[in-house]
Chains A and B, each alone.
Chain A
Amino acid sequence: MSGEAVVHVPGHYKSAVKPVWCPGCGDFGVLNALAKALARMAVAPEDVAVVSGIGCSSRIPAYTSCYGFHGVHGRALPTGTGLKIARPDLTVIVTGGDGDGYSIGGNHFLHACRRNVDLTYIVMDNRVYGMTKGQPSPTTETHWSSKLAPHGTGLSEFHPMAIALASGANFIARGFTGDPNGLADLIVSAVETPGFSFVEVLSPCVTFRPEQKDWKKIVTPGSFTATDDAAEAARRIFTDDGLHLGVLYAGTRPPYGPPIAPAATVPDWLEEVFSL
């Protein structure tokens, strides 16, 4: 858009705003991977919108040099959906955490998968509410003890990949923040695949879930190559331990795009139908 030839490097996609994240937070790696991915796609920062809700990871829009929207808790997907439908020319990246996306925003997750608008949803999953200091989220292990739930939640864990597949997401991938190059590859694929693309990122909370630092020793990058066979994707999702990385599913469903007349003027018949 800016006219002159621009060489895009990851640094162009970061702002000068200092993140609120704890030192060592997994979300730094997601910010780096996002910047790498955008540079690789050579999209101008002003043509990208990063949309989020509330939580540690939802602070990410202001740390980019793109247009950002930091809205209310749980509603990032509808905001991004409205933006993308109204402005199909923009690259829309919706971001957030497991509490924002799977708990308070759970209903929107289902329907964003169904609706299949051409946007990318990156969830930084650390299986805990970090901003409110350590409460269980939908992906928290059943017996994990916290002040709010000293005996664990007693609830079965939410399975975002299974829900995404069942609800119609067109692209489903798992990445790890400690593998920024691999994660950047996944984000590029997600953005370039038409329709709703879901990237679940293992992003450790070093403060409230320090044991997650061990994820870097046990994840397996490059475990999957994309399949458009939903049954195969379901087998992967249900047999996997949640630590294998890659594209689990890439479908061919056409994205949602309501037909819009090119003319932006008001046709006469709109009021003529009322005239006697």
Chain B
Amino acid sequence: MQGEPTSSPVTGLSSVSVVLAGSGGAGVMTAGNVLLEAAALSGYYALMTRSSGPQIRGGEAAAMIRIACAPVECMEGSFQVLAAVDWDNMQRFAAEIPLAGDALLVGDPARGDPPGAFTVGGTRYKGVELARIAKEITGGRANMVLLGHLAALLGLPDDALGQAAGRVLGSRPGVLEPSLAALAAGRATAVGSPAGLQLAPAPACPGGRWLLTGNEAAGLGAIKAGVRFVAAYPITPATELLEWMSAALPESGGVLVQAEDELASINMVIGSSFGGVPALTATSGPGLALMMESIGLAVAAEVPLVVIDVMRVGPSTGIPTKSEQGDLNIAIHGLHGDAPHLVLAPNGLGDCLRTTRWAVHLAEALQTPALVLSDQFLGQARAVVDRPEDPPFCARRLTAGQPDSEEYRRYRVTPTGVSPMAIPGTPRSAYTADGLAHSEDGTPSSQAADHLAQLRKRRHKLERHEFGELWADVEGDGELVVITFGSCTGPLREALAGARARGLALRLVSLRLLAPLQRERLEHLVADASRVVVVEQNPDGQLYRYLRSELDVEVPMDSLHKPGAQPFHPDELLDLLLQWSRT
């Protein structure tokens, strides 16, 4: 959307970004969820991220919401409205909430003035007596007055707002009626407010859209692919994925076990999969680090499994609540020995469903671990999306029947490298799965020839598999090629639309399959390029270095990367791409 006028008095905004903020207990997340639902019910696309203070409970919180006429997979670089129930400690959000030059601040005069960090430049201020108005309604709350005001500013229809409130608050007795009254009172205070924030008419037909987080999409993809066992240890920002699956799995004939640590969870998953039940765990960087030894075991013993890594800022404990793509190196290179395995990355919230589903399918088909690199943004952002792509990938493992003529050899070298796996309970096929180097029948062996044969077999499984078109999303055409993965794809898509509007011919390659790298296909895509830039969110350009080490191409390659905590925004990327194209 960047590069085109986003506002005009006649048509309204095609995209608007607002913040609802307040101290703990003020109900800003509830208000944010109602706004998100109201936007969805009005036919808009929308996206919500959240930020809160370090307190476990009761800290200041901000719901950042973008509402747009077209699908959105990222936040914009600045916000047009900051609406606060109160201003306590709000200055700590100043870096996270960059305001547009003429942004509107909305607050309760009784709670003081907005912090100086927000009143620089040409920002405007509108005082609304939130607390006084709320007090006049029995059970009324200031957050709903504020939300009513904000919804009116944006031009969201009344009925959608009421319906959204019903969906979010409906189950709580005695809450909905006063909330509706407070919303109406808040709406009345917006009469005479500055214009220019009204949204353009919503695109037709909201039917078929979904409202969900990437974590939920990933969990759904896993279950639809056939995962029936999950073991995991709580960790931010993967916990919601586990909580969603904990409720969903038992209804699907599956089970979730809370393990004592990540060492246990990955080995429980291995145990389940050895028993023939497709299994998954979800974690974040610190947990993935603990699992590495056992993921290597799964490679050597050829046990299929899926690990979803919802990446957060590292190293070490890092910033648990913020996004970064810093686990690419450990996901690809973290296993000791040469241990071929799968690494995938969803490139959008809805795509978390498809990519996880594909990961389960690939892990089972190739009898090897698949690591799925989601991240805090994809996992925790809640968005209105078109119904996600959902190809019917399922867990289908090559299993052994009851061999009568030939003695069963679990690790038999086959043309594909995949050997039939006997599931416990199958007579005359018992074998011992082993992390020790082994011969074809699974017996431990320290012979070089056995080691080499099994190394090659495991390599061949991945090299000889036809991965199809899903390995990358390739969009646009041009001599300039931008390569990325994961959550950088959303802002890049927008930036590239803007670049194209300025006459720049660009091709975007968003890699969904990071390992095994589809080297020849990627080399083919960049063969005619004049330049390649690799865009990612980590401090040292991990994808760039990986591609530099793997690709044999003449074309100059540049790296565009920044560390986590602050995601890329489309306008920032557009500026960088324009600069880059000129140098």
Contacts and interface: CB of A to CB of B under 8 A. Distances in A.
Q: Do A and B bind each other?
A: yes
Interface of A: 1-2, 17, 44-47, 49-51, 59, 61-62, 65-72, 74-75, 77-87, 89-90, 107-108, 110-111, 258-267, 269-271, 274-276
Given A46-B424, A264-B228, A275-B210, A70 B264 contact: no
A83 B250 contact: no
A111 B275 contact: no
A265 B226 CA distance: 9
B279 interface: yes
B398 interface: no
B430 A71 contact: no
Nearest to B167: A276
B41 A276 contact: yes
B253 A85 contact: no
Contacts of B256: 258
Contacts of B265: 78
A87 B272 CA distance: 7
B277 A86 contact: yes
Contacts of B434: 62, 70
12 contacts: A44-B427, A46-B424, A46-B426, A72-B267, A75-B267, A75-B294, A258-B250, A258-B257, A260-B253, A261-B251, A265-B253, A276-B211
Contacts, number: 192
A82 B210 contact: no
Given A2-B427, A71-B297, A72-B293, A90 B275 contact: yes
Given A46-B430, A82-B279, A90-B425, 20 more contacts: A2-B427, A46-B426, A46-B427, A51-B271, A62-B434, A66-B430, A69-B432, A69-B433, A71-B270, A78-B259, A78-B265, A79-B271, A81-B271, A82-B231, A82-B257, A82-B271, A86-B272, A269-B251, A276-B40, A276-B206
Residue among B212, B253, B271, B279 with max Cβ neighbours from chain A (10 Å): B271
Interface stretch (B22-30, B216-224, B456-464): B216-224
Interface stretch (B130-138, B435-443, B484-492): B435-443
Given A46-B424, A46-B427, A62-B434, A80 B271 contact: yes
Interface in B234-271: 248, 250-257, 259-261, 263-271
10 nearest A-B pairs in the assembled complex, by CB-CB distance: A82-B271, A68-B432, A82-B268, A264-B253, A83-B271, A86-B272, A78-B267, A87-B275, A78-B264, A86-B277
Nearest to A50: B432
Contact of A61 (B231, B277, B429, B432): B432
* Dominant secondary structure of chain A at its interface with chain B: mixed
Contact of B432 (A67, A85, A269): A67
A87 B443 contact: no
Contacts of A267: 251-252
Given A261-B253, A264-B228, A87 B424 contact: yes
A67 B424 contact: yes
B515 to A, nearest CB: 22
Given A86-B271, A111-B260, A72 B294 contact: yes
A210 B388 CA distance: 66
A177 B256 CA distance: 38
B251 A47 contact: no
A248 to B, nearest CB: 25
Residue among A66, A82, A263, A267 with max Cβ neighbours from chain B (10 Å): A82
A270 B252 contact: yes
Contact of B229 (A46, A65, A85): A85
A271 B242 CA distance: 16
Contacts of B384: 276
Contacts of A1: 425, 427
Nearest to A259: B250
Contacts of A62: 432, 434, 442-444
B305 to A, nearest CB: 10
A68 B435 CA distance: 12
Contacts of A2: 427-428
Residue among B208, B275, B387 with max Cβ neighbours from chain A (10 Å): B275
Nearest to B387: A275
B414 to A, nearest CB: 21
A2 B404 CA distance: 12
Nearest to B436: A70
Residue among A75, A78, A90 with max Cβ neighbours from chain B (10 Å): A78
A89 B425 contact: yes
Contact of A266 (B223, B263, B266, B442): B223
B276 interface: yes
Residue among B255, B264, B270, B277 with max Cβ neighbours from chain A (10 Å): B264
Residue among A50, A69, A259, A266 with max Cβ neighbours from chain B (10 Å): A69
A240 B277 CA distance: 43
A68 B270 contact: no
B209 interface: yes
Contacts of B424: 46-47, 49, 67, 83, 87, 90
B118 interface: no
Contacts of A90: 275, 424-425
